[in-house]
Structure 1
Amino acid sequence: MATTTTTSPFVFLKCHTSPPCHTETLFTRTSYKAIKPQSQTDDVREEQVVVVGAGIADLATALSLHRLGVLSLVLEQAESLRTGGTSLTLFKNGWMVLDAIGAANDLRTQFLEIQGMVVKSVDGRELRAFNFKQEDQSQEVRAVERRVLLETLASQLPRDSVQYSSQLQRIEASPNGDTLLELVDGSKLLARIVIECDGIRSPIAKWMGFPEPKYVGLASYPDAQYFGPRVNYIYGRRLRAGFVPVSPTKVYWFICFNSPSPGPTITDSLELKKQAKELVKNWPSELLNMVDSTPDDTVIKTPLVDRWLWPAISPASAGRVVVVGDAWHPMTPNLGQGACCALEDSVVLAKKLARAINV
């Protein structure tokens, strides 16, 4: 569970560009072009399961249900998969879920297995180092590109499982327990079960009474990156950075610092890169070189937000509406478990729903 702090960290991340994911499956591939919903301003379309959002937890939930013989419709407000962002670290619990839903092998072949972790001070002194498998022989750690993960999950769903350009405008409970969803284009869906996985700013989480969230890069080496297969952390005063190899030619990195407010929105990637280098100008040269090796137009600044759920954890469901992943229990990235726990949510929820539906 995430914790709150009195200051708000921000993260610099680098977006990456990689060849499209090509995975062969036994299922019809999903088209990544926009699938416009039919005009249904007067009619209400009935669906058994509707998943709101097409992020990691959303697609994993839909795929988990599909593997168990339950069809679902995924609503995504964007015109295509939102594949922005950089990489995320998956530990063994995340890989167990991907194995269970048949998506792991396609991903394993594309990303390096990380062997361990090293923590350093700003002057380069090694403070702590360990090997993951020495601590836990069954551990598996890989940094995975978010775009590739999303495309791999979506590609294994039946065609037209994801309906794009479908932004939720209103949600209403019907007398018989079903849920009426009205989209911005005026079309309406009557869903027996609604699953909301659309992040911490989930409109359904707000409808359920959850509190508002509060504010709390991949470098490219054309020949080969020279870092060992381990997570690297560097800690300074009110500032920390980290990097981890993703593939033989790519390294994911971030710089996280405290600030009392989100500050102005900056879209100039050159300015963001300049700020990133200024933050760590006196740190080890390998980090500065990594920033220099990052394409100028791929550095982004993301304010981290959190939702405090204690002392009593907010229930994940209201009637037949349930929230999953960050929509329910957002996590700051300190332990690298946000994506893993969202994947776990999806497979556990799918198993219970499939059992209830098929009774």
Structure 2
Amino acid sequence: MESLLVEDIVIVGAGIAGLATSLALHRLGVQSLVLEYSDTLRVTGFALTTWTNAWKALDALGVGAILRHQHVQLKENVTTSLIMGQQTSSLSFEGTGKHGDCEVRCVRRQLMLEAIANVLPSGTIRFLSKVVAIEESGFSKIKIVRLADGTSIKTKVLIGCDGINSVVAKWLGFKEASFTGRYVIRGYKKVMDNHGLEPKFMHYFGKGFRSGVMPCDDKTVYWFLTWTPTSEEKELANNPSKMKQLVLRKVEKMPSNIKTFIEKTDPKDILTSPLRYRHQWELMLGNISKGNVCVVGDAFHPMAPDLGQGGCCALEDGIILARYLAEAFSRKTCKHVVKKMGEEGKAKEQYKKIDASLRKYAKERRWRNIDISVTSYVLGFVLQGDLKMVAHFRDKVLPDFLAELLLKKSDFDCGKLNASS
């Protein structure tokens, strides 16, 4: 027998984007239901670099202090050419931008998700809830979300935070995310005692690849490598042990005290995945929102990791969307409409307000995310260039430019969350 639930706001996906959006709405006095297809929080990717803009968002959500206590602040970006065998650039992260002091940490994804989920009201996340269909019903464009277990949920607002294979993005008309041609291998190593690394983001460039190593805390080290694989390497992508050996061959000239963390990483703590993005013309012309449906995070703007801004921008999205959407659920507005127009008038008027709120969100976020996404895509190819002229530019000129660009793109404040009456 089919089960029917009714919710004001349904969020598909309990990743960074989904949980951040739900908590931002909660802070503004608006309830939501988060649907997650897995049976627990997913921590794919192990860790992510959180830049100044992400910390602004995490502070707005009220979880910044928790995560700062768990992670070391990185003080410097150091770039080394493994081809030249020398350091080519260093940039301090201790400067001040337009929006305050620079702040960079490598945050463990699990800890970020748990920090946000732990302050959500009980029952906000519904696990084992895979969305299989989206339907529309009634004059107020109510959405009916069908789940694999036979449950149906009626909702006034549907928000897609369901990643690069988003069901909601597909409903809005977006195509499948495009392949950049590159892959990323990610891993982390937790040691028994202090790892002894300085609080630095250590960048390494070699022939056709870019790698990074950085501490998350006193015992955990996160590393990654991006490259364009051969057809044979693609076939081995699901074999962590083979991927580990590939990384070690490529970073052979990396300092031994840094390379040792890759050598000691357990294959179960290594993940390989293709890098995908959305074409800029899709971001410019596509429906980020349509009526009472919109997308956030990777469902909206999957991007290459070369600026380290995917998760950061997802946090920004959630804060800004919640602020606009809370206007449509303002108790003051709803009471006024009910008194003047009745229940049917309330439904119609609220749909208009929801539509207007989501369009404001889409307008504000479109160009910010196009800028970050396109810049990341272009940088990726330049950073891994094999041609002699490109490699010379990358090793001699680009390091300083890249370091400054990382700081410039992260110098952004999504604002605070102030509940309306």
**TM value normalised by structure 1:** 0.84
Q: Counterpart in 1 of 2:407?
A: none
Gapped regions of structure 1 (runs ≥ 5):
1-39
Asked if residue 315 in structure 1 is aligned to residue 287 in structure 2, the reply is: yes
Asked if residue 109 in structure 1 is aligned to residue 69 in structure 2, the reply is: yes
Q: Counterpart in 2 of 1:88?
A: 48
Question: Which residue identity does 1:106 align to in structure 2?
Answer: I
Asked if residue 327 in structure 1 is aligned to residue 299 in structure 2, the reply is: yes
Alpha-carbon distance, 1:224 to partner:
1.5
Counterpart Cα distance in 2 of 1:203 and 1:226 = 44
Question: Which residue identity does 1:114 align to in structure 2?
Answer: L
Question: Which residue identity does 1:309 align to in structure 2?
Answer: Q
Alpha-carbon distance, 1:51 to partner:
0.4
Partners of 2:177 and 2:302 within 8 A in 1: no
Query: After the TM superposition, which segments of 4 or more aligned residues of structure 1 sit over 6 Å from their partners?
Result: none
Partners of 2:240 and 2:268 within 8 A in 1: yes
Asked if residue 354 in structure 1 is aligned to residue 302 in structure 2, the reply is: no
Q: Counterpart in 2 of 1:127?
A: 88
Counterpart Cα distance in 2 of 1:283 and 1:157 = 43
Counterpart Cα distance in 1 of 2:208 and 2:285 = 29
Change beyond 3 A, Cα 1:242–1:326: same
Counterpart Cα distance in 2 of 1:134 and 1:104 = 20
Question: Which residue identity does 2:171 align to in structure 1?
Answer: W
Q: Counterpart in 2 of 1:210?
A: 174
Alpha-carbon distance, 1:313 to partner:
4.2
Partners of 1:221 and 1:293 within 8 A in 2: no
Question: Which residue identity does 1:215 align to in structure 2?
Answer: F
Partners of 2:94 and 2:102 within 8 A in 1: yes
SS at match of 2:245: helix
Q: Counterpart in 1 of 2:234?
A: 263
Greater RCO, 1 or 2 (C-alpha within 8 Å, sep 6+): 1
Q: Counterpart in 2 of 1:158?
A: 121
Change beyond 3 A, Cα 1:305–1:74: same
Partners of 2:173 and 2:287 within 8 A in 1: no
Query: How is 1:39-78 mapped onto 2 (pairs within 5 angstroms)?
Result: 41=2, 43-78=3-38
Counterpart Cα distance in 1 of 2:150 and 2:236 = 32
Pick the aligned partner of 2:261 from 273, 290, 311: 290
Alpha-carbon distance, 1:265 to partner:
5.4
Pick the aligned partner of 2:152 from 174, 180, 188: 188
Identity %: 37
- Structure of higher CA gyration radius: 2
Counterpart Cα distance in 1 of 2:196 and 2:9 = 47
Partners of 1:231 and 1:242 within 8 A in 2: yes
Counterpart Cα distance in 1 of 2:75 and 2:85 = 20
Q: 165-174 or 286-295: which moved more? A: 286-295
Q: Counterpart in 1 of 2:104?
A: 141
Q: Counterpart in 2 of 1:222?
A: 192
Q: By percentage of residues, which structure has more helix?
A: 2
Asked if residue 275 in structure 1 is aligned to residue 239 in structure 2, the reply is: no
Partners of 2:95 and 2:101 within 8 A in 1: no
Partners of 1:193 and 1:320 within 8 A in 2: yes
Partners of 1:220 and 1:293 within 8 A in 2: no
**TM value normalised by structure 2:** 0.72
Pick the aligned partner of 2:219 from 242, 249, 271: 249
Pick the aligned partner of 1:168 from 125, 131, 137: 131
Alpha-carbon distance, 1:287 to partner:
4.0
Alpha-carbon distance, 1:220 to partner:
2.8
Alpha-carbon distance, 1:132 to partner:
1.4
Question: Which residue identity does 1:304 align to in structure 2?
Answer: L
Q: Counterpart in 2 of 1:35?
A: none
SS at match of 1:334: coil
Partners of 1:76 and 1:164 within 8 A in 2: yes
1:126-163 Cα distance to aligned partner (Å, 9 max, x none): 11101012364611111100001111111101111100
Counterpart Cα distance in 2 of 1:299 and 1:269 = 6
Counterpart Cα distance in 1 of 2:188 and 2:136 = 44
Question: Which residue identity does 1:194 align to in structure 2?
Answer: L
Change beyond 3 A, Cα 1:152–1:275: same
SS at match of 1:206: helix
